[in-house]
Amino acid sequence: MTVARLVAVIKRICGMPDYAAYVAHLAAEHPERTVPTEREFTAAYQKSRYEGGANRCC
Amino acid sequence: MTALLWTLIGGLGAAGWAMLAWHRGETVSAAWLVVAAVGSYLIAYRFYSRFLAHRVVGLDDTRTTPAHRLSNGRDFVPTSRWVLFGHHFAAIAGAGPLVGPVLAAQFGYLPGTIWVVVGVILGGAVQDFVILTGSMRRDGKSLGQMARDEIGPTTGVLAMVAILAIMVILLAVLTLIVVKALTDSPWGVFTIACTIPIALGMGLWMRWRPGQTLQATAVGVVLLLVAVVAGRWVSESATLAPVFTLSAVTLSWWLMGYGFLASVTPVWLLLCPRDYLSTFVKVGTIFTLAIGILVTMPAMHLPAFTRFVDGTGPVFAGALFPFCFITIACGAISGFHALVASGTTPKMLDRESDARIIGYGAMLMESFVAIMAICAASILDPGVYFAMNAPLALLGGSAATAAHAVQQWGFTLAPGQMDALARSVGETTLLARTGGAPTLAVGMAQILGGAFGRAGTAIWYHFAIMFEALFILTTIDAGTRVGRFMFQELAGHLWKPLGRTSWYPAMVLGSAAIVAAWGWFLIEGVTDPLGGINSLWPMFGISNQLLAAVALSVGTTLIIANGKARYAWTTLLPLAWLLLICSSASWQKIFSQDPHLGFLSHAAQTTAAVTAGTIAAARGSRLVFNDHLNAVLCGLFLVITWAVVLASAKVWLQRWRPDPAPDSAAALAA
């Protein structure tokens, strides 16, 4: 397992934003869209993660 | 060959149960507890979850999951199964499975163990799995949305009110646990206080360099460990120790203030870094504890059953049935999981068949966390366990009176024992630290000290306290936010602007309302002469189990709608059991003649005491009001749940249709 892969796994488990994966997704599926900056992406990600419903248990 | 292997696993599990059931010596090794539980989990996973996956739900890898169909690289992301397993487990495991089993150890170790294992196999894991697959096939819809779509709009609103009420009780009881652990503990208070600047620093770092989340978190974890060690120095300093020595009431007000400020602060500054910190520490500690138990295989000193199965126990009131099953919710079956299983996880499933290990498997893993908590409580001297968990009103203020009280209950406790134990973990007292966290911390300190070096018992104790308080504080922040959104959604029906989540005044009002609600129950618990956990924890258990009943009603509806009515017993069976225990527990909490147990008889007793002049009128009227409030809330939970179950039953009858010819039973055994 490469370091980059390990970092991606840890980020996914902890629910951290993964900008590299998002950029790859845009390039593959929506090449016409403009790529947001890492800060914009992170802000949008956090908004959808914490301002929705419950994402953890007691 | 595989048949041989599974026979072996089954035999080992059975041997574990046999040892626990028939061993009548002084102590029994915790190894048997682990063997019995793990053997049962493996058999259940191999056979029952396979049946659920193939027959009941019919997982089918040719169907595309929402993660692929709606892929957006953000929340809908196809994720490999073991990574998602870790993510889901980190989201469902929290303080619940650690606290409940410690409290239920009042009955001995066996009742809790049986309930945790049987409950998870036939109830908790089934609920998580069915809701996860239901949400997965409905584009990741939430439990509330599924209740509305599948059963009706009224049920949707009822489910939401139930979730909001449960949230308030949950936040109050979790905060109370932190208060119990940190009262008059300068070491603990200092360490927990440090988590706030550490999180703020991480938040600013990640805002400035969004790519460095992992680096910031790693530095945060290191600083946290430094704070645990530095706490000892603070507790020994003549100038600093008094600053961090707080009474229960002061601490409660601080925590309410924290909850309010944290929930109106932008997520990136405090909640997000705290979330990363607590996930890291949580997963790491659970892993370390498992290794510690496997390495040391400690002997359990608690008996299999205590005399308190009759309901006269000092930790909480009520007999084994139904209160063992109420006290242990998380770990056996937890309604809250239905919210997670219909939240982020279904949006990340790569293939349908992954839902089996993630829905069913991760819940088995949480159940194992509960088993570890039972181990940690059971390796303590029973005398120490009861001295730590009984309320001060029964123990008296000093080590000598406590030793006397514990001897009255039939256990041994030397007068100097509690003082020596408190000193060894760097505290002034450990008496009446009800709530699970300190008991667990002492047990963990013994296990980890045994596995990794005795010298640092006090450090291990405070590490364990930090670990629990850290994620409870994160839950206070996140939970107050979730409560605020629900409050705003409901209030928005009355006056539109209140529903706008980005309007600052509405946000502040919503947060203040939620904090005031849980704060009320918190202060009630802190000032309760019987210690608060006594009445609040059963209320939390009842509400969590009732939420599970709502989830299982929705699950049954999904199974029937899927044309699998003949397998509806898989969810109806745990549903019937939950309705039985919750209805009987709520009834006893409201109407029992025993003032320790029944809210109404306690109110009557208090009124009589006011008339007799033994309780001041103002204090008495507040106690009576709280009893009435608790009674009304308990009744409300019960009415809402029965309304949801009956509304669902109507839908089941309408949609019930016998399926086409049943498949051959032989395929089941394949």
Helix axes B213-236, B186-208, angle to 10 degrees: 160
Q: Residue B506: beta bridge partners? A: none
**Nearby residues of A22 by Cβ (< 8 Å), 6 or more positions away:** A41, B73, B74
* Distance in Å, alpha carbon of B358 to nearest chain A alpha carbon: 13
For position B162, what pLDDT does the model report? 82
Q: Which of the residues B69, B83, B348 would you substitute to probe the A interface, choosing the one with the greatest number of A C-beta atoms within 10 Å?
A: B83
B301, two tokens: 């000193």
Q: Which of the residues B85, B174, B344 would you substitute to probe the A interface, choosing the one with the greatest number of A C-beta atoms within 10 Å?
A: B344
Residue of chain B with shortest Cα separation from A52: B482
Mean pLDDT by 10 residues, chain B (670 residues): 91 92 83 95 97 97 96 89 94 90 96 98 98 96 91 88 88 95 96 96 94 94 96 95 96 97 92 93 91 91 94 93 95 92 93 97 97 95 95 89 94 90 92 91 90 82 93 91 87 86 88 96 90 88 92 96 94 98 96 94 95 91 93 93 94 77 42
d(CA B526, CA B249): 7
* Distance in Å, alpha carbon of B83 to nearest chain A alpha carbon: 6
Residue of chain B with shortest Cα separation from A42: B210
Q: Transcribe B381-405 into DSSP letters.
A: -HHHHHHHHS-HHHH-SSHHHHHHH
B570, two tokens: 């898989």
* Distance in Å, alpha carbon of A36 to nearest chain B alpha carbon: 12
For position B269, what pLDDT does the model report? 94
How distant, in Å, are the alpha carbons of B2, B50, B60, B138 from that of B57?
25, 10, 9, 14
pTM here is 0.93
Listed residue (B501, B530, B520, B547) closest to B606, CA to CA: B530
For position A46, what pLDDT does the model report? 87
* Distance in Å, alpha carbon of B482 to nearest chain A alpha carbon: 6
Neighbours of B670 (CB within 10 A): 6
Chain mean position to CA B160: 20
Q: Transcribe B146-169 into DSSP letters.
A: HHHHHT-HHHHHHHHHHHHHHHHH
What residues of B are in contact with residue A55 (Cβ under 8 Å)?
91, 340, 343-344, 478
How distant, in Å, are the alpha carbons of B195, B208, B463 from that of B277?
9, 18, 14
Q: Transcribe B645-663 into DSSP letters.
A: HHHHHHHHHHH--PPSSPP
Contact yes or no for A58 and B94 at CB 8 A: yes
B26, two tokens: 């002084």
Contact yes or no for A50 and B74 at CB 8 A: no
Q: Which of the residues B175, B275, B514, B536 would you substitute to probe the A interface, choosing the one with the greatest number of A C-beta atoms within 10 Å?
A: B275
For position B503, what pLDDT does the model report? 87
Quick check: helix, strand or coil at residue B237? coil
> Count of A–B CB contacts within 8 Å?
132
d(CA B611, CA B603): 12
For position B549, what pLDDT does the model report? 94
Quick check: helix, strand or coil at residue B183? coil
ipTM: 0.92
CB contact, 8 Å: A4 with chain B? no
Quote the mean pLDDT of chain A.
86
For position B534, what pLDDT does the model report? 84
Contact yes or no for A42 and B87 at CB 8 A: no
d(CA B599, CA B635): 11
Of B77, B267, B474, the CB nearest to A46: B267
Neighbours of B109 (CB within 10 A): 27
With beta carbons less than 8 A apart as the criterion, state whether B91 and B98 touch: no
Phi/psi at B611 (5° precision): -60, -40
Angle B443-B283-A7 (CA atoms, 0-180°, nearest 5)? 155
* Distance in Å, alpha carbon of B78 to nearest chain A alpha carbon: 11
Which secondary-structure segment (H or E) carries B194? helix B186-208
